[in-house]
Amino acid sequence: MSRQNIYDNDVFFQNFKSLREDEINFNDVIETPIILHMMPELTGKKVLDIGCGMGQHAKQYAGMGAASVLGIDISEKMLAFAEEHNSAENITYRRLAFEELEKIEDSFDVVTSSLAFDYVQDFAGLMKKIYGLLADGGRLVYSMSHPIATAYDGTYDRYTRTESGERLYANLRNYGEEGLRKIRWVVEGYELYHRKVSTLINDMIAAGFVIEECQESKLPPETIRQYPGKFGGVMHQPDFIFFRCRKQA
């Protein structure tokens, strides 16, 4: 089973780091407000953050009253940044891949993940593993790239545009063809997995989850107008999809 570790590529990591350092970025402006709003009460809860990256969310959860936060990621560079910039007494970081969740000998009240499940080859298996890690009544809250956004292979412009370059609408390519997609994003060979919305839903249900809420990324029109070069595509397609699920007691 493939385990992509693109974030330990020096060029990719430095580019990603520079994107996150920009105060106006997709993660902080679009993704973070939605996923934080969907989180359950964290006071006194044990949290597992899968694909924790640089640790921004782990630090937020720790500050929201979590008793403990375990952040796991496959990237040594991301974890080193997290340890240096987003540490706290109730946070533990551990190098671990999606495919190694069975090595965690603990249970959690909340399992969460931010924009990392795009890299999972066996999504159905991942849902089952997470279900097994949750305490009864526990919640899974996660975001990932929207299937409309991943229905793209990088060989053509994502948008149909006017002669002046204004986006008219987003293009889809082979939405119904699921599986690995390789595109150029900063470097050649960036890999992600495309799945239909129905596949995501059915895999969660098959694992035993009750789906409580689903959101798609959005921005107020005034923000899109303020940053048309950065967020102009948001009105044409949702970049991210969010789910909150419950393990039945």
pLDDT digit string (tens) for 115-172?
999 989 999 999 999 999 999 999 999 999 999 999 977 777 888 999 988 888 888 8
Q: Which of 107, 32, 36, 33 is nearest to 68 (CA)?
A: 107
DSSP string, 169-186: EE----TT--EEEEEEES
Q: Is 217 exposed, middle or buried (0-12, 13-18, 19+ CB in 10 A)?
A: buried
Give the model's pLDDT for residue 235. 79
Give the model's pLDDT for residue 188. 61
Residue 138: both structure tokens together? 């526990």
- Band (pLDDT 50/70/90 cuts) for residue 2 is very low
Domains of the chain, with CATH numbers? 6-146+195-247 (3.40.50.150)
Extended beta strands in the chain, E state: 46-50, 68-73, 91-95, 108-114, 134-145, 159-161, 167-170, 179-185, 187-194, 209-216, 240-247
- Band (pLDDT 50/70/90 cuts) for residue 1 is very low
Distance of CA 95 to the CA centre of its chain: 17
Tell the residue number behind the tokens 């699921």, with chain if given.
178
Q: Which of 140, 105, 136 is nearest to 126 (CA)?
A: 140
68-73 own/partner pairs: CB under 8 Å, 24+ apart? 68/92, 70/46, 70/94, 70/104, 70/106, 70/108, 72/48, 72/96, 72/104, 73/7
CB contact at 8 A, 71 and 49: yes
Please determine, for residue 60, whether its predicted confidence score (pLDDT) is greater than 50: yes
- Tens of pLDDT, residue by residue over 194-229, are 999 999 999 999 999 999 999 999 888 888 788 777
Please determine, for residue 84, whether its predicted confidence score (pLDDT) is greater than 60: yes
- Band (pLDDT 50/70/90 cuts) for residue 8 is low
Q: Which of 106, 130, 136 is nearest to 247 (CA)?
A: 136
Q: How many residues does the chain have?
A: 249
- Residue 104: which residues within 8 A CB-CB, separation 6 or more? 48, 70, 72, 96, 133
C-alpha span between 196 and 164 (Å, rounded): 33
Give the model's pLDDT for residue 11. 64
DSSP string, 158-227: SEEE-TT--EEEE----TT--EEEEEEESEEEEEEEE--HHHHHHHHHHHTEEEEEEEE----HHHHHHS
C-alpha span between 209 and 40 (Å, rounded): 16
